[in-house]
Amino acid sequence: MKVAIIVFPGSNCDHDVYYVFKKILGQDTNFVWHKDVHLDDYQIIVLPGGFSYGDYLRCGAISRFSPIMKEVIHQAKKGIKIIGICNGFQILTESGLLPGALLKNDNQKFVCKTVNLKVENNSTAFTHLCRPGEILRIPVAHGEGNYYCDHETLKRIQESGQIVFKYATPDGEINADANPNGSLYNIAGIINEEGNILGMMPHPERRSEKILGHNEGRKILQSMIENFSGN
* pLDDT tens figures, 120-176: 999 999 999 999 999 999 999 999 999 999 999 999 999 999 999 999 999 999 999
Q: What mean pLDDT value characterizes the chain?
A: 95
d(CA 14, CA 30): 10
**In this structure, are strands 101-103 and 146-148 parallel, antiparallel, or unpaired?**
antiparallel
List residues bridging with 197 in a β-sheet.
Answer: 82
d(CA 105, CA 201): 12
Q: Say which residues have a Cβ less than 8 Å from residue 44's Cβ, sequence separation at least 6.
A: 1, 2, 3, 4, 21, 27, 80, 81, 82, 83, 224, 225
Whole-number pLDDT of residue 168? 98
Q: Say which residues have a Cβ less than 8 Å from residue 65's Cβ, sequence separation at least 6.
A: none
Active site members: 86, 203, 205
DSSP for 110-166, please give it.
-EEEEEEEEES--SSTTTTTSPTT-EEEEEEEES--EEE--HHHHHHHHHTT-EEEE
Q: CA 137, 16, 41, 77: dihedral to nearest 10 degrees?
A: 50
d(CA 201, CA 136): 13
Is residue 183 within 8 Å of residue 119, measured between CB atoms?
Answer: no
pLDDT band at 231 (very low <50, low <70, confident <90, very high): very low
Whole-number pLDDT of residue 20? 97
pLDDT over 70, % of the chain: 99
The model's pTM? 0.95
DSSP secondary structure letter of residue 178 = G
Whole-number pLDDT of residue 230? 59
d(CA 1, CA 86): 23
| pLDDT 10s digits, 53-107 | 888 878 888 999 999 999 999 999 999 999 999 999 999 999 999 999 999 999 9
Confirm or reject CATH 3.40.1160.10 for domain 2-225, answering yes or no.
no
Is residue 44 within 8 Å of residue 3, measured between CB atoms?
Answer: yes
Residue 184 has pLDDT above 60, yes or no: yes
143, burial (CB in 10 Å: exposed 0-12, middle 13-18, buried 19+): middle
